[in-house]
Amino acid sequence: MIKNIIFDFGGVLVDWNPHYLFDAYFNDEEKCNYFIENVCNTEWNSQMDKGKPFEVAVRERIEQYPEFEEAIRLYQSEWMKTMGEEIPGMYELIKSLKENGFPIIYGLTNWSAETFPPVREKYKIFSLIDHIVCSGEEKLLKPDPKIYQTLLERYNLKAEESVFIDDNVNNVKGAIDMGMKSIRFVNAEQLQEDLNELLNK
């Protein structure tokens, strides 16, 4: 029986995309894509998600790509401009869960400890999340089994009673490997259908 519902944040509750900041900055699709794929890319961003200070990561990247110094500094100073809107339908979905048997909702996110606080403050959907484990604070990244274990142990949850929702297939698999149920997120409508099927078994 499922008693605990756990949400990833980026791509599930809120939209995040560095193109929102850098498309206008570069005004050159090829150059922008190169920057996002090779300079301030997912691998580099994950260093901050795992706890590396932005200041250190930015300095190191500028040393590697001095020709992109201004853009790299912009990644830190204007980071909030990489954020989009709340994912449509998710506020209503979580509010309904809280009103129908799941009063406590959990979050497990790969996010920098420096950039998550202003995001949490900006978007009302986070007012619905009661307990959060943030990778930047734990110095652990999904799909490392230790970060799932941290969540389960901290809040006394049983894996077999928990379902984890993420848009990243590797993180979904990581949760399943820990004994949890897991759903790969596409949109709110699909998630509602998958949750209904799981919860009504």
pLDDT in tens, 123-153: 999 999 999 999 999 999 999 999 999 999 9
Q: Among 28, 63, 83, where does a domain finish?
A: 83
User: How many other CB atoms sit within 10 Å of the CB of residue 121?
Assistant: 10
Over residues 112-126, mean pLDDT: 98
Structure tokens at 134: 């943030």
Does residue 191 share a domain with residue 126? yes
Over residues 114-128, mean pLDDT: 98
Does residue 161 share a domain with residue 100? yes
Does residue 113 share a domain with residue 75? no
Q: Among 51, 83, 115, where does a domain finish?
A: 83
Which pLDDT does position 201 carry in this prediction?
A: 76
Does residue 79 share a domain with residue 115? no
Which pLDDT does position 182 carry in this prediction?
A: 99
- Name the band, by pLDDT with cuts 50, 70 and 90, for residue 115: very high
The number of domains in the chain is 2
pLDDT of residue 11 exceeding 80 = yes
Does residue 169 share a domain with residue 77? no
Over residues 107-120, mean pLDDT: 98
CA quadruple 136, 159, 171, 145: dihedral sign:
positive
Characterize 62-88 residue by residue with b for buried, 16 or more Cβ atoms within 10 angstroms of its Cβ, and e for exposed.
Answer: beeeeebeebbebbbeebeebbeebbe
Does residue 160 share a domain with residue 116? yes
Does residue 55 share a domain with residue 132? no
Does residue 175 share a domain with residue 113? yes
- pLDDT tens across 59-76, in order? 999 999 999 999 999 999
Over residues 1-25, mean pLDDT: 98
Which pLDDT does position 167 carry in this prediction?
A: 99
Does residue 70 share a domain with residue 122? no
Q: Residue 58 belongs to what domain range? A: 17-83
In angstroms, rounded to a whole number, what is the distance separating the alpha carbons of residues 133 and 76?
23
Helix, strand, coil percentages, rounded to 5, for the chain? 55, 15, 30
Does residue 134 share a domain with residue 106? yes
Does residue 58 share a domain with residue 120? no
Does residue 192 share a domain with residue 102? yes
- Name the band, by pLDDT with cuts 50, 70 and 90, for residue 15: very high
Q: Among 83, 106, 128, where does a domain finish?
A: 83
Over residues 33-53, mean pLDDT: 98
Question: What share of the chain has pLDDT > 70, as a percent?
Answer: 100
